[in-house]
Amino acid sequence: MTERKTILKLFAIALIAVAIAFSGCAQQEKPKATPTPAEKETPKATPKEVKAIVIGVTDKVTDLDPSNAYDFFTWEVMNNMMGGLMRYKPGTTELEPYLAESYEVQDGGKVYIFKLRKDLKFADGTPLTAQDVVRSIKRVMEINGDPAWLVTDFVENVEAIDDYTVKFTLKKPISYFLALTATPPYFPVHPNYKPNEIDSDQTAGGVGPYKITKWVRDQELILEANPYFFGEKPKTEKIIVRFYSDATTLRLAVEKGDIDIAWRTLTPVDLASLKQNPNLNVLEVPGAYIRYLVLNTVMEPTNEKLVRQAIAAAVDRKDISERVFMGTVEPLYSLIPKGMWSHKPVFADKYGDGNIELAKSLLKQAGYDENNKLKLELWWTPTHYGDTEKDLAQVLKEQFEATGVIEVELKSAEWSTYVDYLRKGAMMVSLLGWYPDYIDPDDYTTPFLRSGSNKWTGSGYSNPQMDEVLDKASVATDEAERTQYYEQAQDILAEDSPIVPLIQGKLFVVAKKDIGGITLDPTMIFRYYLLYWKS
């Protein structure tokens, strides 16, 4: 019995120790304000303390230097703490001057002159002039980081005419140059950024509604209103972004109330379940994110146009949307997404959706039948596009095999191997996705369809007629004229089918019911400065 007593004593001591350790911890935690680093004198009185809004994401901020950051979420954060000469009007895909007051296009679209606002200041009160814009752009060119090509491929020279005038001379006229100036590599940065070196942990930022007051890599990012911001003050003084490693934890965090908004990216299953939660709102808007199949035009048997057309006809996008994504995506019938000017649903017009009969007949013309089946290898990658990817591959296999004439072998490789195979053109049919760099039809056509520019897709596709149309569209300045070219390009795309569009992503935000100001549009940039507490 004594041993038992000893054990019981030990156990009781352990329990008491645990109880003491946690006794002080049981109160509900609240986000605590972080002391802001010493600042220069702020011009405006601090507004009354409003509760911070906490946003949870499964993304990460990879690099706080716009000369090297090249991922969607980091760009979103940059859009809240920096800004470009132009920006997209919130809720639209319409460009408007931002740091610039006005602009002028000269020399047939080869020269752009921007007049800056005169009230621009960085978050510590340092004034921003044309020299800062030039310094920042030249810095991007010099560092030559991941997104630098968005500048170096187009800009010949940039110079300051005076303190408030910046002149860009382009290598050739570019019709979508204004859209490029709304991307982070064109954002002017604070002089604290190291001149010719990537400065990944720099929090000085640029000119935007918020400034970073705290950043703990992969844990949290705290943004507070920039007191020197020239525009309307953010509706919420403080935004906290918390980083989660997977969708399940993010979902649990919003259910528990650890976060006020669950942003990118929840799974379709989580979204369906959260829609039933009476305390939360699930908002959706169309996104500019697309998924598609790449067909190898130089590898047998997909080198034959009839085969590619049959594949395009057999795909049933509505079925994919319902079965794989539970209605969280929209069917897509062109590479240019729905909602963008010049979009034309060419694949729906030419092939319909899940048109098995047409697919069979095209395959018959190509010499395939039940006894001589078309053998396809369909590649997919397990982690990069989330948990639904395996299902997507499986559903496509079923759809193709429903023709009775196609036999599909599924193959997978993890992302870095996948990209390697892709660039080598080693895959017959592969699943891919695309987030835009700039919101313009050019970004949805040239990288996929123009010879050389599309090498990364591994399709090996080349059509001089397509190249000519795309080149004309990239230099034309009139939107109506450009629309015609892009419509032509989409017609050729449907005919040649080197790429078969599948779906267009929708954006979902899950938020507490008393949060207002959630404004999303196809640019997919979440503007934190518009968020507010209704109560």
Instruction: List binders of other proteins among 206-225 (CB under 8 A).
Output: 214, 216-220, 222
Output the CA torsion 212→216→218→222 (10° steps): -30
By the rule CB under 8 A, 192 interacts with other proteins = no
Asked if 149 touches other proteins (CB under 8 A), the answer is: yes
CB of 256 or CB of 370, closer to other proteins: 256
Going 242 to 244 to 247 to 253, the CA torsion angle's sign is: negative
The total number of residues shown for the chain amounts to: 535
Token pair 């304000």: residue: 33
Handedness of CA 134, 137, 143, 144 (dihedral sign): negative
At 467, is the secondary structure helix, strand, or coil? helix
Round to whole Å and give the CA distance between 389 and 384.
Answer: 9
Residues in 276-335 that interact with other proteins by CB under 8 A = none
- What CA–CA distance (Å, rounded) separates 427 from 430? 6
Q: Which residue has the tokens 């779906």?
A: 503
Cα(532)–Cα(42) distance, integer angstroms: 23
Find the part of the chain contacting other proteins (CB under 8 A) among 121-129, 229-237, 296-304, 412-420.
412-420
The reply to whether 244 sits near other proteins by the rule CB under 8 A is yes
8 Å CB contact between 509 and 477: no
| β-strands 165-170, 210-216 pairing | unpaired
Amino acid at site 72: F
Alpha carbons 200 and 143: distance in angstroms, whole number: 12
Considering only residues 46, 102, 365, 416, which one is a binding residue for other proteins as defined by CB under 8 A?
416
Residues 427-466 within binding reach of other proteins (CB under 8 A): 432, 434, 437, 447, 452-453, 455-456
Q: Residue type for 127, please? A: P
Nearer to other proteins, 196 or 371 (CB): 196
Nearer to other proteins, 190 or 350 (CB): 190
User: Residue 217 or residue 318: which is nearer to other proteins going by CB?
Assistant: 217
Check binding of 420 to other proteins (CB under 8 A).
yes
Question: Least distance in Å: CB of 319 to other proteins?
Answer: 27
Q: Closer to other proteins by CB, 24 or 278: give it.
A: 24
From the list 14-22, 108-116, 178-186, 371-379, the region that binds other proteins by CB under 8 A is 14-22
Task: Give the contact letters, 467-506, x = binds to other proteins (CB under 8 A), - = no.
Answer: ----------------------------------------
Stretch that binds other proteins, among 144-152, 369-377, 489-497, 506-514 (CB under 8 A): 144-152
According to the binding rule CB under 8 A, does residue 194 interact with other proteins? Answer: no
Distance CA 462, CA 492 (A): 11
Q: With CA atoms as reference, report the closest residue to 462 among 298, 321, 322.
A: 298
| 45 binds other proteins, rule: CB under 8 A | no
Q: Are the C-beta atoms of residues 412 and 382 closer than 8 Å to each other?
A: yes
Place of tokens 């979204």: 271
Q: Quick one: which segment of 125-133, 156-164, 246-254, 314-322 binds other proteins (CB under 8 A)? A: 246-254
When the beta carbons of 6 and 106 are compared against other proteins, the nearer one is 6
Given 104, 246, 481, 514, the residue binding other proteins (CB under 8 A): 246
Looking at 72, 103, 154, 421, which residue binds other proteins (CB under 8 A)? 421
Identify whether the C-beta of residue 223 lies closer than 8 Å to the C-beta of residue 213.
Answer: yes
Q: Which of residues 336-365 bind other proteins (CB under 8 A)?
A: none
- Rounded to a whole number of angstroms, the minimum distance from the CB of residue 11 to other proteins is 6
- At 372 the three-state DSSP class reads strand
Residue from 19, 20, 26, 480 touching other proteins (CB under 8 A): that is 26
